[in-house]
A and B are shown apart, each in its own frame.
Chain A
Amino acid sequence: MAQTWFSREWLHRNLNTIIPVTGFILMVIALRITNPYFLASWDSVITLVYGMSWFLIAACGLTLVILMGSFDFSVPSVLKLSAMIFAVLYPSIGFSAILVSVLTGLTFGAVNGTLLARFNIPSFMATLATSMIAEGAAQVISGGYTRMITDPAFRAISTTMILGLPSIFYYAMLIWLISIFITFTTPFGRAVYAIGGNIVGTRLAGINVKKVRIMVFMICSMFASLAGILYASQIQGAHMQVGVLDMIPLFASVVVGGTALTGGIGGVHRTLLGVLIIRWLDSGLSMIAVDLNIRMIVFGAIAIVMTILTIDRRRIKIMK
């Protein structure tokens, strides 16, 4: 249906897009004014890119899960565990550690998905429990110590410069583009949206709902793993603080992009903007010496406001 631009209805229909875009522009202007070093040099751009790349990879996975109307609390913990496995095993088995790490991630995803699809445990409960398992496992394999890896090959994975930007940026963009491709053009992606929109109808239309759900959780955890591996390489090792307090910013970046918590609305393509807003805001605020605790308050508030704005009121009457 044709609608005039900036009419009330147009604004209402495109709220999911207008908010992040204007928000991003306003944020960049505000940070530029308050902080003369923000985006002032190529180095500062690279810093921002390092800050957001690993985060984008994890957020892409979480977006898929949220599109399905589910939730995955275990993303930061799986990220941490994978980073830890990689850092702990790298000295003995080298790059095969990546394989171990990713397999661990996939296992966690499969468990999350199975708990939801086969045992009907609400995903936030199931993933909260598995995240504790991942936390514990990370603690056990590292003994709680920080694992530093000084091998330059280890670091090269994510910090090799290509056309002025680190390789981790290209990995992140590749994963982002693949996620967009999957969700927009494959029957599998259609099914992800369909499950988020009306799971009963999707099942009756002959789609294997259980399989899709398990696969999405596996993809999400695999992305969390990849994010962890690349992040470990970026910071030359792993420690128990990796991923701590990242759940709310991750969630915030997905909803700020315009993906609704109710499922079926939004998309991975939107998450890039959400990640830019959240991570740049984080870097910008920390550059002007805003305390971490204050930043957490800001992200919590943003997450709540955006959830309210994007939630699909036509569909949800009572939220439990």
Chain B
Amino acid sequence: MAIVETLLEVRNITKTFDRVVRALDDVSIRVEKNEIVSVVGENGAGKSTLMKILVGVYQPDSGEMYHMGRKVPFPKNPLEALKRGISIVYQEKGVIPHLRVYQFLFLGLEEKFTRLGRLQLGKIISLAKSVFEELGIKCDLSSSMYELPLSMQKMIEIARAILNIKLMVGGEESNVTPIIILDEPTAPLSIEERDELFQYLLNLKKSNSFIFVSHIIPEVMMFSDRVYVLRDGKLVAHHDLRIEKISEEQLFREIVGRASYHELWVKYEAAKIREIDKKPIILSVRNLTKKGYYRDVSFDLHEGECVGLFGPAGCGKSEVARSLYGDISADSGKIIVNGKEIKLRSEPHTRVKVGIGYFSGETGKELLLFWPIRKNLSIVNFDKVTIKSLKVVSVISFRAEKSLAEKIIKKLRIKAPSIETECYSLSGGNKQKVSVGKWLEKSPRIMILEDPTIGIDVGAREDIYEALLEMKKNGISMILVSDDPKEYAILCDKIISMKDGVIQAVYTNEEFRKVIEL
């Protein structure tokens, strides 16, 4: 075994956003030569913030950085990080589909291979060949990126990162070991492709180090040398897998934590409706299929019931939810709302008419950020805030709008100076509250929730759960899609587990909690 040598170390990093949200709190990690270090945590745990600090996208509020034993300032931009041998391969924005492999490989480096204003194509291609040989990639240099399998595209992206570092560092420091950060690299890949990618990484480990950001536990356990666990911006655990033996369950519990879980679950119990199966069926889904995403999905939703679609990213759960709301269309099957079959191909507005509402935690997608809270709240409630003027035209009554907004703000404890405050100036949690609040008064028959509490702090989360549980108590049925298993335990009466687009099992809330050992 090689001598352990610390390549990069950061100590006591703290980072806050907008002076309120503490994204990272006193976090220290190190990367050694020739190893794969994993950083795991839930969404919003601070993984990406930490990585963005390492590559110079963000500046930390405090902390120190050591590179090859020497204290160095934090990189101010990705180029500086690159010069120190640190590069990142992002989850999905990297590949430019229509470029050829060698064009993509040398994208942004063309200047180094230009003579008299002309690109030295021969030199580029021969260098690309030798790089691929060295890294063990077998592919046709002149094929277009989009023609290649996703795992190969990822490999080429990694090769590009290494090549970038080699060409950027240069000079006397050319013996620097590149550190490549991989941000959820396996998210879009199939199982076989994942294995292929990992074999490739294990091979590259001989000359490089990797920071592997993921929330897929089995692959973290299998392929990394050490694991750091982040939760709510804090480093909660560190394991050296070469020495220690830990179980997947243990790691899972460390990632999820169980601090405020019990209290919330009590709230679920309080809001629970007994004998939910005897309530009328509001929504029936039969053999719903969308090619390439999910197939033969069938379930019933009773009045006041919350059904969770559970499974790993890419299992088709969010596509099912979005097909029900009409954001995308299913190919075949039946959706029956209140005993009436509705068209598979349609737009969200027709679904709103039959009483379906949709709420996603991605406020940037949902809200009109430069609109005041008042307008954001009334956009789905036009029927409540308009009056017929001259019996012909529906006119918005500003008084009705104002009282609606004030009511919702009070109910959800939205912290804002006034109803005229523009939404972009609100904190993440309050934005989400505005986003869910607009449905509070609409009271649809069915609410579809996609990651309702993504990326917000615990307090705001509880307020949102409370609002949702109250809606449920009032007889509104819900369908939940989330990455957080706790959320299912808090909100759902029935949990449908999915894998590769197919329903695997159906659990009750109690059974589900046993399965995930909460």
Chain A residues at the B interface, C-beta cutoff of 8 Å:
1, 185-187, 190, 193-194, 197-198, 200-210, 264-265, 312, 314-315
Contact = CB atoms under 8 A, between A and B. Distances in A.
Contacts of A207: 349, 379
A200 to B, nearest CB: 5
B486 interface: no
Nearest to B379: A205
B133 to A, nearest CB: 36
B351 interface: yes
Contacts of B417: 1
Contacts of A315: 370
Given A190-B375, A198-B369, A206 B349 contact: yes
Interface stretch (B99-107, B311-319, B358-366): B358-366
Interface in B334-353: 347-349, 351-353
9 contacts: A190-B382, A197-B369, A203-B327, A203-B348, A204-B327, A204-B365, A205-B348, A206-B348, A206-B351
A154 B352 CA distance: 49
B379 A190 contact: yes
Nearest to A198: B368
B358 A187 contact: no
Given A190-B379, A190-B382, A264 B370 contact: yes
Contacts of B378: 190
Contacts of B360: 204
Contacts of B424: 314
Interface centre among A190, A193, A312 (most CB of B within 10 A): A190
Nearest to B420: A1
A213 to B, nearest CB: 12
Contacts of A1: 417, 421
Contacts of A193: 371
Nearest to B375: A190
A208 B393 CA distance: 18
Interface string B62-89: 0000000000000000000000000000
Contacts of A208: 347, 349
Contacts of B395: 185-186
A201 B396 contact: no
Contacts of B368: 194, 197-198, 201-202, 264
Interface in B390-415: 393-396
Contact of B347 (A187, A200, A210, A265): A210
B386 interface: yes
A206 B378 CA distance: 12
Main SS of chain B's interface residues? mixed
A204 B396 contact: no
Contacts of A205: 348, 366, 379-380, 438
B434 to A, nearest CB: 12
A201 B370 contact: no
A185 B396 contact: yes
A206 B352 contact: yes
B496 interface: no
B393 A186 contact: yes
A197 B347 contact: no
B397 to A, nearest CB: 9
Given A190-B379, A203-B347, A314 B370 contact: yes
B365 A200 contact: yes
A35 B352 CA distance: 60
A79 B112 CA distance: 55
B163 to A, nearest CB: 26
Given A194-B368, A208-B349, 12 more contacts: A1-B421, A185-B396, A186-B394, A187-B394, A190-B379, A194-B371, A198-B368, A203-B349, A204-B348, A204-B365, A206-B352, A314-B424
Interface string B263-303: 00000000000000000000000000000000000000000
Contacts of B421: 1
B212 to A, nearest CB: 29
A187 B396 contact: yes
B502 interface: no
B221 interface: no
Given A203-B348, A264-B370, A194 B365 contact: no
Contacts of A186: 393-396
B366 A204 contact: yes
For the complex of A and B, list the 9 residue pairs with the smallest distance between their C-beta atoms, beginning with the closest: A206-B352, A187-B382, A208-B349, A197-B368, A206-B349, A185-B395, A205-B379, A198-B368, A205-B380
